[in-house]
Structure 1
Amino acid sequence: MSAYPYRLQILWITLLVLTWLGYCSPWSGERNLLLGAVMVLVTAASLIGITRRARTRRRTTARILTEVNGTLRTLPSGLKRHTPLVITVGDPNAMSGAWGDDIVRITDAAIWVRCDMPVTLMHVADALKRWRNGQGPDAVALLIAADQGNADTLAAAAWKPWRSAIGAASRAVGYTLPACLAVYAQTPWGKGECPWFGTSGSVPLDAHALPDFLTSRLQRYALAASPAEPESRGLRFALLDALVRWSSKALWPLWADGRSPLHVMAFGVTVVPGVPVSGAPFGCFVAQLTGLTGASTKGRASPRYPLPDALLAGMPRQPIRRAWPRALAHAVMALTVFFGAGTVASADQNRTLMKRLADNLARYQAIPSTQDAVRLDALALIKHDRDELEHYANAGVPMRLDFGLYRGSLWVPIVDRVIADYRPPAAPPSMIELNSMSMFNTGSAVLNPGSNRALVGVLEMIKSHPDKRVLIAGHTDSVGSPDANLKLSLARAAAVRDWLIDASGLSATRFAIQGYGDTRPRASNDIEAGRALNRRVEITLIPDCRDDGSDSTKGHPACS
């Protein structure tokens, strides 16, 4: 895999994000749905942008790749990997003189590819890296015709688009593209080919040290002149030395300033037979430095500029950079982030679950046994928690609680024990029977002082059942007339009711009284023991059967 799989990587990250939102997120469902929709939209926009960029790259580089493949068709297949590949850019004069109408050229030193527009450099560099199966261009050569341009051509604004384009191309191929600066000048003195004078290396060059370093080389060139050409070679030496010094002052600042200066690792100058253009900044510099001036002839055909093969000798070759190790590393990093975010979310939700279990148990245990209805509500929450824990035990722990942090199984025996220990309160007695002989004197409906002890127990039973009404019924034996016994039993029931109202502060509407006289004996009235059982007051708790909610009058009969 030579090209980085951006689309596949984006889909992988989107899948991880949606999985986290769907199975691990502690947020609400509406929020997760909104974030998921935003993620899908961002992914769709990214895929559209990458697809458009790929189409632009294919459209921009189709002709170049066709030329490259056509040129290398008859050469060995390994040539494109073992031969340096250099993209050349530069000012129009230098590019026209070096290339003519060609796009691709193969020399003994490198495969040279031409690029005329800054906006296409990024696509060309990326396409060439794909073409060489992950091995990107080895350098970018900047060709400059020093004596053919004007001041505007050498202005910083003219080269700013190329500097930005080289930075974008470096980002596209994944490394900083080394730059090779090749400077040409035309001279009317001497004929024949002039060698390149310069240096190259694996680290950026120091512009301040270049003039002195190259001057020593140029002096040896001038001293080695044959007897037939001492004057022409001496003039070339002066011109080349001036070209080096002018380049260090006029050209290097164009590339060394700014936030992202170029890494110029090769620099060289040469001269070719020809006539420089009058008024060029370099010509003025030479005239001031040496006093030499060349003939001024405009419109003359530009000579053929040689490509800077010699300057590539010391520059490092770019290794093959396969995309799949980097893509795999990024995919593993995304998976690591997914598990990290899932672990954090799981820890938070497990903490919430444990707190809920502890709070429900503490709330249940804090409720007194006398409030059985409230205890049952709290117990229902605990049973719901138990059902949830059992579901997890049977069906599996969900991802949002997993990641090795789930501790709900430790709570199962605790919750089961609390549920098993619940005991409903004892059912209240349906009726309390009070002996009339211990509470009233014979034939009297006034409570004796000692009857309070028995009535206190009745009062506690009534308060523990606030949803019930109280029926108080009086009974007598058969001694005396039936009318007198009926009135006596009703009066004794009223006396008990009045005491309970005064002692408890309860509303009179909760009480009902009934006098039965001797009509409901429990035993025979023929013997004293039977008559003693029949003399009694019965207190019974009954449901409230009133429909209209209005207060009952004193002495209202109880519901049957």
Structure 2
Amino acid sequence: MRNLSKPLLVALAFTLALWLVWGFWPLGLGSRLFLSVVVLVLAGGLGWRYWHQMQNSAVTVVDIALPPEDFEGALVLVCGDSDVLFTADESFRETRQGWYLPVRQPEQLAQIAESVASGRPALVAQVSVLMAFAPERWQEEVAFTSQLHQWQRAIAQSRRSFAGLPPVWTCLWLNAPAKSDEGRYRWYFLTNNREGIQVQENNGVAQSYLPWCTYAPEALHPHRLDSSLWLESLFRWLKPRVTDLMQTRHHDTPALPACMLAVCSGPLATLPDNLWQQHTASVTTLQSRSASTEEMPPLPDMLLPHLSRRHGISRVMLSWRVVGGIVGIFLLLAMLASWINNQRLIQNVSDHLALYQRLSGNPPAPKVQAQEQLRRDNGLLDSWQRQGAPMRYTLGLYQGMRLIAPLRAAINNWAPPLPPPPVIKKIIQGPKTVRLDSMSLFDSGQSDLKSGSTKVLVNSLVGIKAKPGWLIVVSGHTDNTGTPKLNQTLSLKRAEAVRDWMRDTGDVPESCFAVQGYGESRPVATNDTPEGRALNRRVEISLVPQANACQVPGKSPASSQDDDASQHNGE
């Protein structure tokens, strides 16, 4: 995983956490603010810690030659006596079957494992640890055992980077037992997927050890029997010193069972009085001679196909897996919050319905108030039905649809009683104002009624009747054509002409009338258009209540209400 992916994943996780707090979980404002502060503090702490690790990363990760990320072979970390297989300036070796990285000291294994895990996470599944031993290069058994314990501890520490213990296999390099085999390399190996010891020479096909040893040609048969004795002696030496130690759990290291045990016989430079010579002398009482050769022993490349293969994931896929895990947890918590919100919604509406149904409606005020609450609930659910419910209720768990029907049924099941009928007092009002068009009564600029206007007046003034206590107000109006003074005079004269006609025709006393001329001061429409000016040229007649108005000589004054009452009684 690249360095930039970690802060991005942390940012994604804390962003979704804030979304949960503010968008889904049913919390109060104080709780949301508190949790937001906690999330931000944790994010800041992790950011500072990661920045601090970035500052120190240069000294914790070693510089090694890693294979490309699409490398399909095995990645082998060669521990133990790696100096036997690599030169001092050789940092890696690539073969047809794998990529070999020498680990010179036990302390470097954890650093190399961290470099591989951070730089090539897709190849972690292809990593195996090779414990290489050359007994003829060791002279003290105590030092050999101590070094083996250190490598066990280093392998156990590397499992943090590899997410578990990597496959461990053991190889030994020894000089061939027979002179006829000098110059040739032969592999003897035990694997978990094959039964018995297998033998493979150079790049030949592996075959079972027993047929190889027993059914050989006559010329080679004695030498293969010698190899059998030599191999039996080797396994007798190997079991207590390597195999049993690696399979035994110690207080600080786990057991490391080998998935394959291999022995390579061939020319190898040795030290005098080495561990293998000491073992041979103790068994046969014969002293082996030391050997010297410039030839570098071969790597166990031909044995790599016998290792179990696993499939790794790339750095991008690993990042997407983490993203998927974060989003999955977010969706799980969001769905849980949505379920809780829906349960609270159902509980609240159910409580409102239960309270509404318990009330008898006598007195009606409490039930009316409960019904208003149901109407608010119904309106909220109806708006969510049309526009969509908030996200905190959705995620496939919204339950509001099934609450609408019982809400509407409860609302329509009861209606508050009608209020008592109010005491109706008859208020006597005069007729509405009658508006007469001046152009139908007068010629332009004139104040004398023109012929034919009598019919208009009769039809329009049917409801205008003189009666005690009411004043007949006749007001004239003009448009803004001409001067204001002339318009005011013209409007007054036109009002007087209408009054005179009503007085003479209906035999109405003079005291029943009030005449006013407003000229152009009270328009009812704009004077900017012909239509508006036509509306402003008018005569208005209305009845206004006024005491002592419209008195007939010889009769006592009476209010308009009394007059109306007498008329009502007469009817």
* Post-superposition CA distance 1:47-73 (Å, at most 9, x none): 6666666776665555323xx68xxxx
Query: In the comparison of the two structures, how many residue pairs are matched?
Result: 405
CA–CA distance in structure 2, aligned partners of residues 216 and 338 of structure 1: 62
Please list every run of 5 or more consecutive structure 2 residues that lacks an aligned counterpart in the other structure: 200-207, 424-571
| Corresponding residue number in structure 2 for 1:161 | 153
Secondary structure of 2:349's match?
helix
Match of 1:251 among 242, 254, 260: 242
Secondary structure of 1:103's match?
coil
Q: Is the Cα contact below 8 Å between 2:374 and 2:407 reproduced in 1?
A: yes
2:173 aligned with 1:184, yes or no? yes
Q: Is the Cα contact below 8 Å between 1:87 and 1:115 reproduced in 2?
A: yes
Match of 1:354 among 346, 371, 374: 346
| Corresponding residue number in structure 2 for 1:87 | 77
CA–CA distance in structure 2, aligned partners of residues 242 and 320 of structure 1: 40
Which amino acid in structure 1 is aligned with residue 280 of structure 2? V
Please list every run of 5 or more consecutive structure 1 residues that lacks an aligned counterpart in the other structure: 70-76, 431-560
Q: RMSD between aligned alpha carbons?
A: 4.9
- Aligned pair in 2 of structure 1 residues 245, 312: CA closer, same or farther (>3 Å)? farther
Secondary structure of 1:397's match?
coil
* Post-superposition CA distance 1:143-173 (Å, at most 9, x none): 123240422432563333133045335328x
Which amino acid in structure 1 is aligned with residue 171 of structure 2? A
Report matched runs for 1:31-180 at 5 Å: 31-45=31-45, 63-65=63-65, 81=71, 84-90=74-80, 94-101=81-88, 102-107=90-95, 110-125=98-113, 127-128=115-116, 134-136=122-124, 137-147=126-136, 148=138, 149-155=140-146, 157-171=149-163, 177-180=166-169
- Alignment TM-score, normalising by the size of structure 1: 0.57
Secondary structure of 1:286's match?
helix
Q: Percent identity?
A: 17
2:309 aligned with 1:314, yes or no? no
CA–CA distance in structure 2, aligned partners of residues 396 and 145 of structure 1: 75
Higher mean alpha-carbon deviation, 187-196 vs 247-256, is at 187-196
Deviation of 1:13 after TM superposition, in Å, equals 3.8
Deviation of 1:404 after TM superposition, in Å, equals 3.1
| Corresponding residue number in structure 1 for 2:560 | none
- Aligned pair in 2 of structure 1 residues 365, 239: CA closer, same or farther (>3 Å)? closer
CA–CA distance in structure 2, aligned partners of residues 128 and 222 of structure 1: 48
Deviation of 1:180 after TM superposition, in Å, equals 3.2
CA–CA distance in structure 2, aligned partners of residues 356 and 308 of structure 1: 74
Deviation of 1:11 after TM superposition, in Å, equals 3.8
CA–CA distance in structure 2, aligned partners of residues 87 and 222 of structure 1: 39
Bigger Rg over Cα: 2
Match of 2:381 among 383, 389, 392: 389
- Aligned pair in 2 of structure 1 residues 256, 302: CA closer, same or farther (>3 Å)? farther
Which amino acid in structure 1 is aligned with residue 78 of structure 2? T
Deviation of 1:312 after TM superposition, in Å, equals 2.8
- Alignment TM-score, normalising by the size of structure 2: 0.56
Report matched runs for 1:160-559 at 5 Å: 160-171=152-163, 177-185=166-174, 192-199=182-189, 203=192, 239-258=230-249, 261-270=256-265, 272-276=267-271, 278=273, 280=275, 282-294=276-288, 305-316=297-308, 319=311, 321-325=313-317, 327-329=319-321, 331-379=323-371, 381-386=373-378, 388-390=380-382, 392-393=384-385, 396-412=388-404, 415=407, 421-423=414-416, 426=419
Secondary structure of 2:141's match?
coil
| Corresponding residue number in structure 1 for 2:26 | 26
CA–CA distance in structure 2, aligned partners of residues 44 and 354 of structure 1: 39
Secondary structure of 1:351's match?
helix
* Post-superposition CA distance 1:379-404 (Å, at most 9, x none): 45435434543553565411221123
CA–CA distance in structure 1, aligned partners of residues 216 and 77 of structure 2: 30
Which amino acid in structure 2 is aligned with residue 423 of structure 1? P
Q: Is the Cα contact below 8 Å between 1:105 and 1:113 reproduced in 2?
A: yes
* Post-superposition CA distance 1:300-341 (Å, at most 9, x none): 999955433343353355656334445445544544444343
Q: Is the Cα contact below 8 Å between 2:281 and 2:288 reproduced in 1?
A: no
Secondary structure of 2:398's match?
coil
CA–CA distance in structure 2, aligned partners of residues 62 and 158 of structure 1: 19
